[in-house]
Amino acid sequence: MQPYSEFTITVTASGYETVIVSGSEILAESLSTQPIRMNPLDATEEYEKRVVIPAHTLWGSYPAKIPESEVKPIAETGEIVLSRVVVPEYVIVHDGAPSDRTAQNYWVRYTDYIKNVASSEIYSTWPESTIYANVLAIMSFTLNRVYTEWYRNQGYNFTITSSTAYDQKWIYGRNTYQNINRIVDSIFTNYVSRPGIRQPLFTSYCDGQRVTCSGLSQWGSKYLGDQSYTAIQILRYYYGNDIYINTADIISGVPSSYPGYDLTIGSSGDKVRQLQQQLNRIAQNYPAIPKVTADGIYGSATAAAVRSFQNIFGLPATGVADFPTWYAISRIYVGVTRIAEPS
């Protein structure tokens, strides 16, 4: 029995094209977010845009992954390769097999890409430790492609494909799930490592029922989660006891990295001042966020502004600038400042 319901969503707005999404996948007791992108009618020749979400990978029929080594050989010369592990601001997703020249390329924000793939590859109703383990595998897989410049070294102009035969399933326009989104936002700088190996492990995985592989079994990880295995225990079950969770050196597209601790009432210093300045700039576009004095002191007014930001952007409204909130503020700040730049 199919474990999710499918809905058709129609969105209309005066002066914009109508968007119809078919196949939005809703799981019991799992809050879902359906992204909608609408173009002004004066900027498009179409009055209606249709998005069709195909079957979930655990339910539909998709090509099995072609086996690859978890560590890619990198020549001393002649290949592009990054010197450090970088979390990119965007990945370029080729929506088809690598050689399919008719497939479209999409620029997708890295965290949005991971949320989309995780929502396409596993079920949000699975144990939390299972979701953490699978998200870490998805991120490590992706960052290996980024680090080794895998497709660019083959002459292609994209980062990764949406083909399950070569990569992971990414679905244009699909809905994602709140608990998966929260987990991705809390660990998006992490990946799987092995001692003495610089590149993120190419963490292959498969469903473990219709297709078996040498990497993680998605259904198997679900059953381990049911037995109270932690995320690292699940990963070590499949990839070996010597693997560990590493953190990327660089995060692209943010003005400044997370200070390493939560900012809350009583905090002070340059990081607080930077946070206040970014919130004030965001407030120009989102006036529901109260402006604050950028004095470097985290008082009740700053906490209220942070709480307002969290409410608007779907984060737990704690008033504390934790890891997910810090990077959400950075991301929105970069977005609104780019919009304001002259073209």
pLDDT of residue 340: 55
Burial label, 172 (beta-carbon count in 10 A; 0-12, 13-18, 19+): middle
In this structure, are 244 and 274 located in the same domain?
no
* Stretch among 96-100, 285-289, 336-340 having the lowest mean pLDDT: 336-340
pLDDT, tens digit (0-9, with 9 covering 90-100), for 104-120: 999 999 999 999 999 99
In this structure, are 276 and 332 located in the same domain?
yes
Question: Is 30 domain-assigned?
Answer: yes
In this structure, are 153 and 198 located in the same domain?
yes
CA dist list (Å): 66 to 129, 165, 168, 218, 225: 27, 5, 11, 17, 27
pLDDT of residue 77: 41
In this structure, are 182 and 237 located in the same domain?
yes
Contact between 38 and 17 (Cβ < 8 Å)? yes
In this structure, are 141 and 26 located in the same domain?
no
Question: Is 57 domain-assigned?
Answer: no
pLDDT, tens digit (0-9, with 9 covering 90-100), for 125-177: 999 999 999 999 999 999 999 999 999 999 999 999 999 999 999 999 999 99
In this structure, are 217 and 100 located in the same domain?
yes
Task: Work out whether strand 90-94 and strand 105-109 pair parallel, antiparallel, or are unpaired.
Answer: antiparallel
pLDDT, tens digit (0-9, with 9 covering 90-100), for 2-59: 999 999 999 999 999 999 999 999 999 999 999 999 988 887 677 889 999 999 999 9
CB atoms within 10 A of CB 38: 15
Question: Is 38 domain-assigned?
Answer: yes
Three-class DSSP category at 268: strand
Q: Which residues contact 290 (CB under 8 A, 6 or more apart)?
A: 283, 301, 304, 305, 308
Question: Is 133 domain-assigned?
Answer: yes
pLDDT of residue 79: 46
pLDDT of residue 75: 54
Question: Is 200 domain-assigned?
Answer: yes
Domain final residue, candidates 222, 251, 280: 251
Domain interval for residue 32: 5-52
> How many independent structural domains does the chain possess?
3
In this structure, are 222 and 97 located in the same domain?
yes
Query: DSSP letter at 200?
Result: P
pLDDT, tens digit (0-9, with 9 covering 90-100), for 204-213: 999 999 999 9
pLDDT of residue 249: 79
Q: Which residue has the tokens 């088809």?
A: 96
Contact between 74 and 238 (Cβ < 8 Å)? no
Question: Is 320 domain-assigned?
Answer: yes
Question: Is 256 domain-assigned?
Answer: no
Tokens found for residue 87: 């979390």
Q: Which residue has the tokens 């370029």?
A: 92
In this structure, are 116 and 223 located in the same domain?
yes
CA dist list (Å): 103 to 99, 192, 331: 9, 30, 29
Domain final residue, candidates 200, 223, 251: 251
**Chain centroid, CA 329 distance in Å:** 16
In this structure, are 145 and 218 located in the same domain?
yes
CB atoms within 10 A of CB 188: 20
Domain final residue, candidates 197, 217, 251: 251
pLDDT, tens digit (0-9, with 9 covering 90-100), for 55-90: 999 999 999 999 999 998 875 444 445 668 999 999
Please, how many CA atoms are within 13 Å of residue 193, restricted to the half-sphere of its CB?
15
In this structure, are 170 and 90 located in the same domain?
yes
Report percent pLDDT > 90 for the chain. 85
In this structure, are 136 and 247 located in the same domain?
yes
In this structure, are 243 and 287 located in the same domain?
no
Average pLDDT, the chain: 93
